[in-house]
Amino acid sequence: MYVFLSIAAALSLFPLIWAVISATNANTDILRGTMLPGTHLIQNFNRLTELTDLGRAFWNSARNATMATFISIVICSLAGYGFEIYHSKAKDRLMSVLLLSMMIPFAAVMIPLFQLTANLSLLNTTLGFMLPTLSTAFLIMLFRQNTRTFPQEMIEAARIDGLNEISIFLRMYVPTMKSTYAAAITITFMGTWNVFLWPRIIMISPESITMPILISNLMAGYVADFGVIMLAVTIATLPTIVLFSFLQRYFAEGMTGTIK
């Protein structure tokens, strides 16, 4: 069992390790298949900053992903809470319709969404970037499912103590469901940090470049410098690794609906 898991872990980690090692090597060494750390890290970094606006791309990605995560968590947790606590048959039917929306591939709604964003003058803006992710059926479903484990008695006791509905949500629900929030933050941040197709269409201006677009641009030339590309990939991976390592304790609990 451990042998199998070790092999699976090694296979999963290999691309990341290869990217980190390649970030320290010259392009020709990578193409020749070297698997040892090299001495070209500084040169690759200098080349990366010379070729691209790395700081701007990193800031744009961080800003877009942070804001999209924050706002979508607020909206989806309120929605999930509402669907479960203020339960009714009509809301159940609405939830089913919402879940059906998960079956529609993004490519099918991309063009009308693009038209809408353009008509609202939101191209090249974070708001335009966030629009499709602000309310997702998956997050609403995650919060709704996990709210089932939230003790109804706590809400009734709080109402008797005189707390209004918003205060119950903020003071009782949010602190109790922190594992679910951690899982939702991790999933949403990773999704919005790595999202490529949507910003590639609407972030036309060079000033609104994000990290995935920057990496894609680096790969577009006839002569690709894989040392530089792998360094950009490594830098782009860092925030999600850091976030996940901080929240991993809660992540499994949140996904399984455990509360403390």
Partner 1 sequence: MKKLLVLLLTLVMAGMLLTACGRDDAEDVAVNELTVWSWDPAFNMFAMEVAAEIFERSNPGFVLNNVEMPWETIDMQLTTIGISGEHHLLPDIMLIQDQAIEISVLTFPQLFADITNSGINFNEFASGKTDFSVVNGRNFAVPFDNGVTITAFRTDILAQAGLTIGDFTNVTWNQFIDLGRQVLDTTGMPLLSTYGVGASFMDVMVKSAGTSLFDANGQPNFVNNPAFREAVDRFIEMVDAGVMLLPGDWSDYIGTLAAHDVAGTLAGCWILGTIQEVGPAGVWAVTNIPRLNIPGGTNYSSWGGSSWVITSNANFDLAVAFMNYTFAGSTELYDRILPAAGALSTWGPAAASTVYLEPQPFFGGQTVFADIIRFSQNIPDFMGGIHHYTAMDQIDIALGNIINLGMSIEDALREAEAAVRFEMGL
**Binding piece for partner 1, criterion CB under 8 A, among 28-36, 98-106, 132-140, 187-195:** 28-36
**Residue closer to partner 1, measured from CB, 141 or 218:** 218
Is 167 one of the binding residues for partner 1 (CB under 8 A)? no
Of 190-219, binders to partner 1 (CB under 8 A) are 200-201, 204-208, 216-217, 219
Residue 200 three-state SS: helix
Long-range CB pairs of 148-151, under 8 A, 24+ apart, other chains included = 148/84, 148/257, 149/257, 149/258, 149/259, 150/84, 150/176, 150/177, 150/259
Is 109 one of the binding residues for partner 1 (CB under 8 A)? no
CB of 3 to partner 1, least distance (A): 29
Number of shown-chain residues binding partner 1 (CB under 8 A) = 39
Long-range CB pairs of 219-226, under 8 A, 24+ apart, other chains included = 224/27, 225/27, 225/44, 225/47, 226/22, 226/27, 226/30, 226/31
Is 222 one of the binding residues for partner 1 (CB under 8 A)? yes
Of 32-91, binders to partner 1 (CB under 8 A) are 32-33, 51, 63-64, 66-67, 70
CB of 152 to partner 1, least distance (A): 28
CB 66 within 8 A of CB 215: no
- 10-26 as b/e: b if 16+ CB within 10 A: eeeeeeeeebbbbbbbb
CB of 138 to partner 1, least distance (A): 23
Closest by CA position to 184, among listed 67, 72, 100, 62: 72
CB of 144 to partner 1, least distance (A): 25
* Burial status of residue 82 (CB atoms within 10 A of its CB: 0-12, 13-18, 19 or more): middle
Is 134 one of the binding residues for partner 1 (CB under 8 A)? no
Is 121 one of the binding residues for partner 1 (CB under 8 A)? yes
Among 124, 145, 176, 237, binds partner 1 (CB under 8 A): 124
**Residue closer to partner 1, measured from CB, 83 or 189:** 189
Rounded distance, CA 142 to CA 148, Å? 10
Is 31 one of the binding residues for partner 1 (CB under 8 A)? yes
- 194-211 as b/e: b if 16+ CB within 10 A: ebeebbebbbeeeebbbb
Is 114 one of the binding residues for partner 1 (CB under 8 A)? yes
**Residue closer to partner 1, measured from CB, 140 or 213:** 213
Interface with partner 1 by CB under 8 A: which residues? 27-28, 31-33, 51, 63-64, 66-67, 70, 110-112, 114-115, 118, 121, 123-127, 200-201, 204-208, 216-217, 219-224, 226
